């Protein structure tokens, strides 16, 4: 499985912003193992390609303004991130 960092911006000025965010989060859940270390940032372990992930997110919400999908190599460093570190380690492990 490949590991990806997914980050996105949604248009928060639209009515129903919370529902749009929920749609994106549901789409991420369907892509594979994941964790959400920061707001609008997901780390995903998936058999999908970066292009497929981008397409999935773009298709699930009309309010996506920007999206970034980056394949990760497996190492990371964090600061003040204890509460989610185990979850992130599980996603990043093979």
pTM: 0.86
Q: Residue 76 half-sphere exposure, CB side, CA atoms within 13 Å?
A: 19
Q: Residue 83 half-sphere exposure, CB side, CA atoms within 13 Å?
A: 3
Q: Are 71 and 4 in contact (CB under 8 A)?
A: yes
Nearest 10 degrees: CA dihedral of 54, 4, 7, 85? Answer: 150
pLDDT at residue 94 tops 80: no
Model confidence over 36-92: pLDDT tens digits?
988 889 999 999 999 999 999 999 988 889 999 999 987 788 777 766 667 777 788
Question: Which pLDDT does position 25 carry in this prediction?
Answer: 92
Question: Which pLDDT does position 83 carry in this prediction?
Answer: 60
Task: Domains for the chain: give ranges and CATH numbers.
Answer: 2-92 (3.30.70.240)
Model confidence over 43-59: pLDDT tens digits?
999 999 999 999 999 99
In degrees rounded to 5, what are phi and psi of residue 73? -100, -10
Question: Which pLDDT does position 79 carry in this prediction?
Answer: 78
The dihedral of CA 34, 4, 83, 26: what is its sign?
negative
Identify which of 45, 54, 35, 44 has the alpha carbon closest to the alpha carbon of residue 1.
45
């Amino acid at each position: 499985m490949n590991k990806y960092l997914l980050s996105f911006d949604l248009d928060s000025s639209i009515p129903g912003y919370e529902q749009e965010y929920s749609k994106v989060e549901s789409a991420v859940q369907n892509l594979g193992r994941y964790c959400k270390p920061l707001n609008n940032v997901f780390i995903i372990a998936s058999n999908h390609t970066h292009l497929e992930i981008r397409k999935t997110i773009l298709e699930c919400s009309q309010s996506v303004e920007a999206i970034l999908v980056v394949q990760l190599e497996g190492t990371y460093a964090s600061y003040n991130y204890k509460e989610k570190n185990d979850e992130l380690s599980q996603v990043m492990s093979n």
